[in-house]
Amino acid sequence: MSRTITRRMANVKPSAVREILKVTADPSFISFAAGNPSGDLFPVEALREYSLDVLANPASLQYSVTEGYQELRDLVSERYGRGYNLKKPGDDTIIVSGGQQGIDLAARCLLEEGDAVICENPSFIGALNCFRMYNAELVGIPCDEYGMLLDELEVALEANPRVKLIYTIPTFQNPGGTTLPLERRRKMLELALKYDIMILEDSPYFELSFDGTFPPAIKSLDDSGHVIFVGSFSKIIAPGIRVGFVIAPDWLTSKMTVAKQGADVHTNGVYMRVAAEFLKNYDVDAHILRCRTLYKEKCGLMLAEMEKKIDKRVRWTKPGGGLFIWCELPADKPSAGLCETLKQQKVAIVPGVAFDTDPDNLANCGFRLNFSVPSNEQIISGIGLLAEGISEYLDK
Amino acid sequence: MSRTITRRMANVKPSAVREILKVTADPSFISFAAGNPSGDLFPVEALREYSLDVLANPASLQYSVTEGYQELRDLVSERYGRGYNLKKPGDDTIIVSGGQQGIDLAARCLLEEGDAVICENPSFIGALNCFRMYNAELVGIPCDEYGMLLDELEVALEANPRVKLIYTIPTFQNPGGTTLPLERRRKMLELALKYDIMILEDSPYFELSFDGTFPPAIKSLDDSGHVIFVGSFSKIIAPGIRVGFVIAPDWLTSKMTVAKQGADVHTNGVYMRVAAEFLKNYDVDAHILRCRTLYKEKCGLMLAEMEKKIDKRVRWTKPGGGLFIWCELPADKPSAGLCETLKQQKVAIVPGVAFDTDPDNLANCGFRLNFSVPSNEQIISGIGLLAEGISEYLDK
């Protein structure tokens, strides 16, 4: 009795990505398996300066209100809410401990056992596992090089009366690297309204656009209160600070705040203030331009090397931003087998099954490549080794 | 459909304490309603120095492993696990985002809908609300000036086959200020073994003992793997950093780690390292002695003033440490009415109903006083005003 783990937890496996990261701690491996932004881009000097300033005020170390440090809420409402038209009448902004917590709190408030969540297939493993922890059913929708297929979405909505939420990463998707076009965004919103379903728009990457452009957020298109926007400072400041935000209708943010009281009381008070200083005093857009420029270069290099070296039977996305390229082997070649082969070449990738809404789908033939972490030299030699391993695997 | 809040959240009200804190933002109020440690004790200079050191290493800003920064885990295992005999064979230590998250993750792994949780009545509202969010039934056990009544515990265990967890704050309880004697600790453990129930021992205050003594943790008495120990740096460093820890059997910590992946990925990486620096380089015991000395003085002053001024029909606990004194009005005088009266005197307390396992028990005649936050002058004048309000209320 005492050792019985809940069903919600019994169903969830540790993240395969995290397990792979442990393996690739071996420095002789070249890893394309990361999900991290580049550490070279962290604004360390500014964070040191702001930390000292913030710590001069002992209030930064005291308990604070659950919904977040008010000045940061205001700055987020200004930059994102007003700047990107994400905050609508009746909406509120709360600060969360990273985008992951935004997903978790929304799920806690919205997902009853047995409810279904629609998501892109493949999708972000952290979100999928979170929904599984609420005993929700995952309904994966196939994607093409532009993201979710909206005809398939409509079929799924029609077939599943218990769908409560559509979870989407529309811009520079993880792991797909895809960007949902404006017309599909409008259509997704239209379907959400038709079936009266909330959309959880997870958008940690949108500012990492290589050319500075991206379609409007789904949230910005909605005036009916059907979209929850989850944003993050993990990719434009640093993930280790665990600061993100949610902009959503206030009937929901008020409940998410109550949920957060039970989850962690509030987000780290020093770093809520450091993030506020960053938004107020740093040249945020110049910093984001530096990030975009570096990632554009790395992604371009990786795609060029892939074009030169990788077997033509493999297909891959051409991301407009973000951190990831998604590849697909021919349909009869599961990527888990490729990962095995690549142990010889000492190259790490994440096999598609890790992002599959069916965690046992060993037939998944996709895999994810990260270009933000490896050096240019590692990209060049690693793609060579990957190409070798792929040829060996496909001709086996 | 889209706006339907889950049952788990519909049942939970925002914390009454937090609502009261908003009211008492009025600086003309004297507040005994806080749950905060004294900001005067925060080791600000050390935290500034450690922050700078830690930020020199960009790894502090990158994603890190979910179970926590290894050096901090080791230091916690050393100080608490070995030093207080909390870590047994088969146990592991994980870092969490404050003790509250330790409670939440344990609940996520252990509480199935309809399971019952035994707790002291009154108890910590943050834990009670957390259990409510898992649709658990709360079974409150009456307390005397030493804490939970163990005969009543046995009756409850016998009567409730769905009890899955005993939640207890045995040392300097919140809100009771009580300390469970060694014999009752042994008895509680014996009952937990007899009924094969886990004990969740929440112990954020034990180091704040006025005379430096406290009974051994229940966890230290157990060699059968039935106790989960939740500790916190909120009271000995600062609550705003949101760093705590859990020492528990590894079959549970491994599942709690998976749960934490879905909750917030990991705790703020800078402050996990700052906490490690604090344990390594600061004179922690001298610092705790400063905390203990200040709180002993403030508690002593408050008790002396109460003795002099407050109506003899009111009873209160004499805490050996921690942050709180618990008072009880005569049985026919609910404390919610006293709070109303005290608006005239401009003194804030937290009425007992806020800590009651029955959140609608308006007959609750207890209330909580905090002595760590008010100045000595505020304690003297505030207890005078409280005494006035009490007399007025009792004679009404």
User: What is the model's pLDDT at position B27?
Assistant: 84
Q: Answer yes or no: do B238 and A62 touch at CB < 8 A.
A: yes
Three-point CA angle B383, B388, B393, nearest 5°:
120
User: Does pLDDT of B31 surpass 70?
Assistant: yes
Measure B228 CA to nearest chain A CA, in Å.
Answer: 12
Q: Which fold has domain A46-281?
A: Aspartate Aminotransferase; domain 2 (3.40.640)
Q: Decide: A268 and B268 in contact? Cβ < 8 Å.
A: yes
Query: Across residues B272-300, what is the average pLDDT?
Result: 98
CA distance B24 to chain A (A): 13
pLDDT band at B396 (very low <50, low <70, confident <90, very high): confident
CATH of B62-281 given 3.40.50.1820, 3.90.550.10, 3.40.640.10, 3.40.50.2300: 3.40.640.10
Question: Which of chain A's residues have a Cβ under 8 Å away from the Cβ of B238?
Answer: 61-62
Q: How far apart are CA B233 and CA B242, in angstroms?
A: 8
- Rounded to the nearest angstrom, the minimum Cα separation between B56 and chain A is 8
Q: Do B198 and A2 touch (CB under 8 A)?
A: yes
Coil, strand or helix: which one is A362?
coil
The Cα–Cα gap between A84 and B214 comes to 55
Nearest to A259 among B9, B252, B254 (CB): B9
Per-domain boundaries in chain B? 7-42+286-394, 62-281
Instruction: Please measure the distance between the N-terminal and C-terminal CA atoms of chain A and give it in whole angstroms.
Output: 49
Cβ(B385)–Cβ(B30) under 8 Å?
A: yes
Q: How far apart are CA A147 and CA A166, in angstroms?
A: 14
Cross-chain Cβ contact A263/B52 below 8 Å: no
pLDDT of residue B42 exceeding 90: yes
pTM of the entire predicted model: 0.97
Q: What is the pLDDT of residues A193-214, one digit of tens each?
A: 999 999 999 999 999 999 999 9
Looking at CA atoms only, how far is residue A313 from chain B in angstroms? 34
Give domain A7-42+286-394's CATH superfamily.
Aspartate Aminotransferase, domain 1 (3.90.1150.10)
How is residue B39 written in tokens? 């900001």
- CB contacts of B269 in chain A (<8 Å) are 240-242
pLDDT tens-digit readout, B313-372: 999 999 999 999 999 999 999 999 999 999 999 999 999 999 999 999 999 999 999 999
Regarding beta strands A227-232 and A244-249, do their DSSP bridges make them parallel or antiparallel, or are they unpaired? antiparallel
Q: Do B7-42+286-394 and B62-281 have matching folds?
A: no
pLDDT at position B334: 96
Which one of A2, A61, A192 has the shortest CB-CB distance to B241? Answer: A61
DSSP string for residues in B319-368: -SBSSEEEEE--TT--HHHHHHHHHHHTEE-EEGGGG-SSTT-TT--EEE
Residue B18 has pLDDT above 90, yes or no: no
State residue B22's pLDDT score.
67
Q: What is the pLDDT of residue A222?
A: 98
pLDDT on residue B21: 65
> Which chain A residues are closer than 8 Å to B104 by Cβ?
262-264
| Residues B239, A61: C-beta atoms closer than 8 Å | yes
- B:239-298 residues touching chain A, CB 8 A cutoff: 239-242, 251-252, 254-255, 257-259, 261-271
- Distance (Å) of CA B183 to CA A254, B23, B215: 44, 42, 10
The predicted-structure confidence for B118-142, as pLDDT tens digits, reads as follows 999 999 999 999 999 999 999 999 9
* pLDDT tens figures, B145-165: 999 999 999 999 999 999 999
CA distance B224 to chain A (A): 11
Q: Report CB contact under 8 Å: A6, B240.
A: no
Question: Does the CB of B238 have a partner CB in chain A at under 8 Å?
Answer: yes
Residues 309..338 of A with a Cβ closer than 8 Å to B: which? none
Q: Give the DSSP letter string of A261-326.
A: HHHTSSS-HHHHHHHHHHHHHS-HHHHHHHHHHHHHHHHHHHHHHHHHHS-TT-EE---SBSSEEE
Can you tell me the distance from the alpha carbon of A281 to that of B74, in angstroms, rounded to the nearest whole number?
A: 38
In chain B, positions 157-176, which contact chain A (CB-CB < 8 Å)?
164
A chain contacts of residue B198, beta-carbon cutoff 8 Å: 2
**pLDDT < 50: residue spans in chain A:** none
Q: With contacts defined as CB-CB under 8 Å, which chain A residues touch B2? A: 164, 192, 196-198, 226
pLDDT at A234 (0 to 100): 96
Q: What is the C-alpha separation between A320 and A173, in angstroms, rounded?
A: 10
Residue B51 CA, distance from chain mean position: 27
pLDDT value, residue A2 = 78
Of A42, A62, A197, the CB nearest to B58: A42
pLDDT at B257: 96
Report the share of chain B in percent with pLDDT over 90.
Answer: 93
Q: What is the pLDDT of residues B204-236, one digit of tens each?
A: 999 999 999 999 999 999 999 999 999 999 999
When scoring A3, A4, A6 by the number of chain B Cβ atoms within 10 A, the one with the most, hence best to mutate, is: A6
Residue B19 has pLDDT above 80, yes or no: no
